[in-house]
Chain A
Amino acid sequence: MPKVLTTCCFCACGCNLYLQVEAGKVIGVTPSREHPITRGNLCLKGWNSFEFVHHKDRLRYPLIRRRGHLVEADWEKALNLVAQRLAEVKDKYGPQSLGVLSSAKCTNEENYLLMKFARAVLKTNNVDHCARLCHSPSVIGLSNAFGSGAMTNAISELASAEVILVTGSNTTEQHPQIARFIFDALARGAKLIVVDPRRIPLSRFAHIYLQPRLGTDVIWLNGMTKIILEEGLLDDAFIKMRTENFRAFSEMLKNFDLEQVEAISGIPLEDLRMAARVYAGVKRAMIIYSMGITQHISGTDNVQSIANLAMLTGHVEQKYTGVGPLRGQNNVQGACDMGALPGMLSGYQNVADEGIRKKFERVWKTDLPTAPGLTEIDMFHGTGNKKIRAMFVMGENPALSHPDLKATRAALQVLEFMAVSDIFLTETAALADVVLPAASFAEKNGTVTSTERRIQRVRKAVSPIGASRPDWQIICELASRMNYPMAYESPAEIMEEIAMLTPIYGGVYYDRLEQGWGLFWPCPNRDHPGTPFLHKGSFVRGKGRFECTLYRPPAEMPDEAYPFYLTTGRISEHWHTGSMSRRITALSRERPEAFVEINPQDAKRLGVANRKPVRVVSRRGEITVKARLTDDVPEKTVYIPFHFTEAPANILTHGHCDPEAKIPEFKVCAVRLEKVQ
């Protein structure tokens, strides 16, 4: 029974586990005991992560659409067709008519290759991936403030913090291993502040729990900073030495009226004062946040407000302090790092910078496009709609994960051509003209980067299922068919190229990843040990920048016709669009179907009983789901997880975005509830 060490394929905690292989099949997993995050355990998803690998629904051969139906084809035909159709659309409408979606579930090497494919072969910067839908405001907001959009500190540092402020992160459910370090900190006497519109499980352990209304984060965050300023709890020396633009920021706060905090956010001012004093009152305080902060039209301002709070109190730049945006997907950090973003090449090097382009052109031996690229939301909803004529989608499922699904699916259907590579026939793949069967994490080599910037190996345990191939090989084949030969013998060779072109990955080589437990970027050269916490001594951008932030109400507020707030999210037993987790016995048994969380008071008024179906209607569409009565949601607010294709929450959500980060406001829209007779 060989045991192959690899990195878990679900969330970005980066747990390492051994795949147990018997007779060419993965039959179980063993968590690593020595790995610093894994510490001998996994969440329920991790323990069962192996099961979808051999599922009968795995795509085993390429599919081509013929007379409306997807039919089996051989690789040669399928690849030729994709290369030919992409070239045709490019010739006919220009490279700006092509869109490429990369994948936070694929390896660094695959993301790097696909963004190279978009830019060097298709000649477009229209390449993006699902970070757009989760942490694009962090990439922008924290880059503006600190110079880097990643978690400032290592996960394990949480255990030694004195105060932990968790907001917009259901940590125990979405990042269980990170919650474990929070529990460790609590056992050592740390204070926990939880700020969340839903009474999440972690709130039961909070010393202070604040329940703001949806979409009012700028208000309570600015309120907290103002209280700290007024009560003189700020870190003067840090502000003078390490930051800039403080004057403008404090001017803004002067005009901020603390009285509006309770009126708008619903948080009693005295409670907020208490939280401000606790957070500012210690040396080692960390802030943990996630989608609850970013998925708003004010996402970037929310993130900036968090950065302001941390800088005001000097809670950054040191060990056991900092700001931690918890990334969702196993490699969403890496997909960003690799430049699967319209404005960035790998390592957050600006594509608009001619010098940077020249550097890449010299190695890639071709000219690079200069026109700015489209975000994935713009490819479907915004300015880009109808400009995109053909798409290549690797391991993403916008037909279930994007907001306003009717509009999204309509945009997919008007495409002249779409190719999808995936491991299952997802809702998106089912709409494709060509479907390419990809290998899963258990069947390929590569690296992924966890939320704490830890670069780790993914190792092949079994042969690809059926005729499936690793995505990096698929991209190489396509590029070669489009007159740009890519002949990499292995992911290690791709990483050598990444290291050469990407300063923060400059010292990342496969042989180094065999010792220890990966490397933290920035790791500029072979002798560099990696960087567990960022901004030591000074911010990456030089001085930390305060920025004024202004409260903007959510794009769609409840009204008479749609009197409820709807907020969407995930549950611990399922993963995103469910293509993997819903095919796992223990997980699908645990949560077999969708539900809407309703406050019992509202349910009473509506006459809805527990586990009975309810129709949820928004301006975009409607779904029917079973009610789950719980006090965890406040009155006039309902919550639906987005994993379930038979009741897709995103039918209801809207496509209004944060103007800078272009992240849709998944966390707030207006709905009405109807009892199903």
Chain B
Amino acid sequence: MRGTVGKGAVMPNELILNKEHLTGFLRKIAKERELIAPIKNSYGDTLFEVISSVDDVSLDLESRPAMPPKDFFLPPTETLFNYQREGKQYRFEEVLPDVSRVLFGLRSCDLWAILFLDVVFQENFKDRYYLNRRSNTILINIGCHEPMLNCFCKSAKSGPFLTQGYDLQLTDLGDRFFVEVGRPRGRELVDKWDYFFTSATQKDRDEQYEIVLEAESKFGQTVDLDMATSRLINHEVDDALWEELGNRCQGCGGCAYVCPTCYCFNIVDRPVSETQGERVRMHDACTLAGFTRLAGGYNPRQERSRRIRRRFYHKLPFAIEKYHRPSCVGCGRCMEICFGRVDMIHFIKMVCERGKKASQEASLRLGEILVQAGLISREELKVALEKQADTGKPLGIQLIEDGLTTTKEIALALGCQLRIPETAGTEG
């Protein structure tokens, strides 16, 4: 439980918002700030939209919007400054965003992604364009009691409910929302309009707990992100896999454009007239050849497979090393949109599956060596392999745990087989 924040705070950290009060609460917010929420439009698409009137929109709190909310912090195209040339002099006029917003109805994965971007955009220097927007935005997420088909936030540890990072977090309890107060600005909101809220009871808490548990058991997609990461770190992914992904990628850039954490941008100067222009930044995608091509025309990642390799390395091990979390939040959007199945879910599954095959082959090879060295019998190997299939442990570990052999014996046998003098020669 988070502690009470600020003095004079009267509301507890766990509240109840009756569903019939939601519109009223949002109306109050919209009067003071730009209100952005997921809206299902008349064509059936759910998009984050700026809401001018809370009465004539259909709020969609059941599905993940087609695009992530990053456009509100890092727009697809953004003017950084205008310039004007007078003789030999240049005059610059910075265009700093200035708008206070509330993002309501974020999915947990998307909110988690914003927290990731927060780190990136103030890591080396503070990106004022991003931070100006970000520091004026209140984030309210709704926990996902019903994960969508391709969601895997549980595997990415970014949902379906958050324990930190939000200003307010809602849980749908049927006729009411269970509201958790997170960061100070969430507290400000509930304190200001406290009359919409009541204190949560133990029954509410129990119910919410049930929903969280239930939601976690509903995921259709579970992938082993950690295993894929470790295989990448250990360079256990063969070139054939990258080649295959390279062939299947159609170079649309969609995976980067729809990714809630992809933040790469390009900067160009655009003349508007003979003497005027603007410096613009726009979304970019690392799967494009132009992303890495050098001025002379040489491209260190000329082949598409190299660029995809870089992308997945960046998303998993590099991000984890640098930011202690993957830059994949498990939203599943890339999976839904990729032309050639070069998305995170297919990738992780491919890596794990092929790794499994490779490790099975390695086990067989090791087993054969140990049998030939007379350390174990063929029958013992068979039993160990069957056990290993259940436990998923490496064969060597399985044999040692079963007391059939020792580390030293395995090392010796391997050394002989591979003709490594240090192990095979000294004692042999």
Q: Do A and B interact with each other, yes or no? A: yes
B247 touches A201 (CB 8 A): yes
- By a CB distance below 8 angstroms, the chain A residues around B266 are 585-586, 589
In the complex, residue of chain A having the shortest beta-carbon distance to the beta carbon of B272: A56
- By a CB distance below 8 angstroms, the chain A residues around B273 are 56
B43 touches A40 (CB 8 A): no
Report which of A3, A28, A33, A180 forms a contact with B339, defined as CB distance below 8 A.
A180
Chain A, range 138-182, C-beta contacts under 8 Å to B:
172, 176-177, 179-180
- Asked if B289 CB lies within 8 Å of chain A CBs, one says yes
Chain A, range 163-215, C-beta contacts under 8 Å to B:
172, 176-177, 179-180, 183, 187, 201, 204-205
B71 touches A41 (CB 8 A): no
Question: A201–B339 Cα gap in the complex (Å)?
Answer: 13
Report which of A43, A56, A517, A589 forms a contact with B252, defined as CB distance below 8 A.
A43
Question: A31–B65 Cα gap in the complex (Å)?
Answer: 12
With A40-B337, A585-B266 in contact, do A18 and B47 touch (Cβ < 8 Å)?
yes
- By a CB distance below 8 angstroms, the chain B residues around A514 are 42
In the complex, residue of chain A having the shortest beta-carbon distance to the beta carbon of B63: A33
0/1 interface trace, chain A 14-55, chain B, CB 8 Å (1 if under):
001010101000011111111100011111101100110000
- Asked if A237 CB lies within 8 Å of chain B CBs, one says no
B251 touches A572 (CB 8 A): yes
A47 touches B75 (CB 8 A): no
- Asked if B403 CB lies within 8 Å of chain A CBs, one says no
Which one of B123-131, B223-231, B253-261 contacts A? B253-261
With A1-B50, A5-B43 in contact, do A176 and B77 touch (Cβ < 8 Å)?
no
- By a CB distance below 8 angstroms, the chain B residues around A33 are 45-46, 66, 336
- The number of residues on chain B lying at the interface, defined by a beta carbon within 8 Å of a beta carbon of chain A, is 47
- Asked if A552 CB lies within 8 Å of chain B CBs, one says no
Chain A, range 199-252, C-beta contacts under 8 Å to B:
201, 204-205
Report which of A28, A35, A50, A56 forms a contact with B71, defined as CB distance below 8 A.
A28
- By a CB distance below 8 angstroms, the chain A residues around B50 are 1
- By a CB distance below 8 angstroms, the chain A residues around B338 are 41
A586 touches B288 (CB 8 A): yes
Chain B, range 240-265, C-beta contacts under 8 Å to A:
247-248, 250-254, 257-258
Max count, chain B CB within 10 A of own CB: residue among A18, A39, A586: A586
Q: With both chains docked as a complex, state the minimum distance between the C-beta of A446 and any C-beta of chain B, in angstroms.
A: 18
B251 touches A44 (CB 8 A): yes
- Asked if A359 CB lies within 8 Å of chain B CBs, one says no
A183 touches B336 (CB 8 A): no
A40 touches B297 (CB 8 A): no
- Asked if B67 CB lies within 8 Å of chain A CBs, one says yes
0/1 interface trace, chain B 273-310, chain A, CB 8 Å (1 if under):
10000000011110011100100010000000000000
B47 touches A183 (CB 8 A): no
Q: Report the tally of A-B residue pairs with Cβ distances under 8 A.
A: 113
- Asked if B44 CB lies within 8 Å of chain A CBs, one says yes
Max count, chain B CB within 10 A of own CB: residue among A39, A50, A180, A514: A180
A179 touches B45 (CB 8 A): no
B71 touches A20 (CB 8 A): yes
B252 touches A29 (CB 8 A): no
With A30-B47, A34-B45 in contact, do A183 and B339 touch (Cβ < 8 Å)?
yes
- Asked if A611 CB lies within 8 Å of chain B CBs, one says yes
- By a CB distance below 8 angstroms, the chain A residues around B392 are none
Question: A337–B247 Cα gap in the complex (Å)?
Answer: 37
Question: A201–B251 Cα gap in the complex (Å)?
Answer: 12
Chain B, range 60-99, C-beta contacts under 8 Å to A:
66-67, 71, 75-78
With A33-B45, A44-B288 in contact, do A585 and B268 touch (Cβ < 8 Å)?
yes
A28 touches B77 (CB 8 A): yes
A586 touches B339 (CB 8 A): no
A204 touches B247 (CB 8 A): yes
With A41-B337, A204-B247 in contact, do A590 and B75 touch (Cβ < 8 Å)?
no
With A176-B250, A179-B250 in contact, do A39 and B336 touch (Cβ < 8 Å)?
yes
Chain A, range 544-597, C-beta contacts under 8 Å to B:
572, 585-586, 589-590
Question: A167–B41 Cα gap in the complex (Å)?
Answer: 40
- Asked if B340 CB lies within 8 Å of chain A CBs, one says yes
With A32-B66, A39-B337, A56-B273 in contact, do A586 and B284 touch (Cβ < 8 Å)?
yes
In the complex, residue of chain B having the shortest beta-carbon distance to the beta carbon of A573: B251
Q: With both chains docked as a complex, state the minimum distance between the C-beta of A155 and any C-beta of chain B, in angstroms.
A: 14
With A3-B49, A20-B71, A183-B340 in contact, do A27 and B42 touch (Cβ < 8 Å)?
no
Q: With both chains docked as a complex, state the minimum distance between the C-beta of B44 and any C-beta of chain A, in angstroms.
A: 4
Question: A22–B95 Cα gap in the complex (Å)?
Answer: 14
A40 touches B270 (CB 8 A): no
Q: With both chains docked as a complex, state the minimum distance between the C-beta of B342 and any C-beta of chain A, in angstroms.
A: 11
B43 touches A42 (CB 8 A): no
- By a CB distance below 8 angstroms, the chain B residues around A35 are 43, 45
- By a CB distance below 8 angstroms, the chain B residues around A572 are 250-251
Question: A33–B46 Cα gap in the complex (Å)?
Answer: 8
- By a CB distance below 8 angstroms, the chain A residues around B107 are none
With A27-B77, A56-B270, A586-B288 in contact, do A32 and B45 touch (Cβ < 8 Å)?
yes
B252 touches A42 (CB 8 A): yes
Question: A589–B293 Cα gap in the complex (Å)?
Answer: 9
- By a CB distance below 8 angstroms, the chain B residues around A611 are 297
- Asked if B271 CB lies within 8 Å of chain A CBs, one says yes
Question: A176–B290 Cα gap in the complex (Å)?
Answer: 20
With A41-B254, A43-B250 in contact, do A590 and B289 touch (Cβ < 8 Å)?
yes
Report which of B71, B290, B297, B340 forms a contact with A590, defined as CB distance below 8 A.
B290
Q: With both chains docked as a complex, state the minimum distance between the C-beta of A28 and any C-beta of chain B, in angstroms.
A: 3
With A3-B49, A47-B254, A585-B282 in contact, do A32 and B339 touch (Cβ < 8 Å)?
no
Report which of A22, A43, A44 forms a contact with B75, defined as CB distance below 8 A.
A22
- Asked if B354 CB lies within 8 Å of chain A CBs, one says no
In the complex, residue of chain B having the shortest beta-carbon distance to the beta carbon of A43: B252
- By a CB distance below 8 angstroms, the chain B residues around A18 are 45, 47
B251 touches A47 (CB 8 A): no
Question: A336–B406 Cα gap in the complex (Å)?
Answer: 79
With A41-B338, A44-B288, A590-B289 in contact, do A28 and B75 touch (Cβ < 8 Å)?
yes
With A32-B43, A32-B66, A176-B339 in contact, do A20 and B76 touch (Cβ < 8 Å)?
yes
Report which of A27, A40, A205 forms a contact with B76, defined as CB distance below 8 A.
A27
Question: A5–B248 Cα gap in the complex (Å)?
Answer: 29
- By a CB distance below 8 angstroms, the chain A residues around B133 are none
Q: With both chains docked as a complex, state the minimum distance between the C-beta of B338 and any C-beta of chain A, in angstroms.
A: 7
Question: A185–B183 Cα gap in the complex (Å)?
Answer: 48
- By a CB distance below 8 angstroms, the chain B residues around A28 are 71, 75-77, 283
- By a CB distance below 8 angstroms, the chain A residues around B288 are 44, 586, 589-590
Question: A187–B341 Cα gap in the complex (Å)?
Answer: 10
Question: A204–B250 Cα gap in the complex (Å)?
Answer: 13
Q: With both chains docked as a complex, state the minimum distance between the C-beta of B40 and any C-beta of chain A, in angstroms.
A: 10
In the complex, residue of chain A having the shortest beta-carbon distance to the beta carbon of B288: A590
Question: A31–B257 Cα gap in the complex (Å)?
Answer: 10
- By a CB distance below 8 angstroms, the chain A residues around B187 are none
In the complex, residue of chain A having the shortest beta-carbon distance to the beta carbon of B40: A34
Chain A, range 39-88, C-beta contacts under 8 Å to B:
39-44, 46-47, 50-51, 56
Question: A172–B247 Cα gap in the complex (Å)?
Answer: 11
B75 touches A27 (CB 8 A): yes
What would be 12 A-B contacts, judged by CB atoms less than 8 Å apart?
A22-B75, A28-B71, A31-B66, A32-B45, A33-B66, A40-B258, A44-B252, A56-B270, A183-B341, A585-B268, A586-B282, A590-B290
Q: List 4 tightest A-B contacts by C-beta distance, closest first.
A: A28-B76, A589-B290, A41-B337, A33-B66
User: Which B positions have Cβ atoms within 8 angstroms of A?
Assistant: 41-47, 49-50, 66-67, 71, 75-78, 247-248, 250-254, 257-258, 266, 268, 270-273, 282-285, 288-290, 293, 297, 333, 336-341
Given contacts A179-B339, A572-B251, A586-B284, 7 further A-B contacts (CB under 8 A): A1-B71, A20-B76, A30-B67, A31-B66, A31-B337, A56-B272, A585-B282
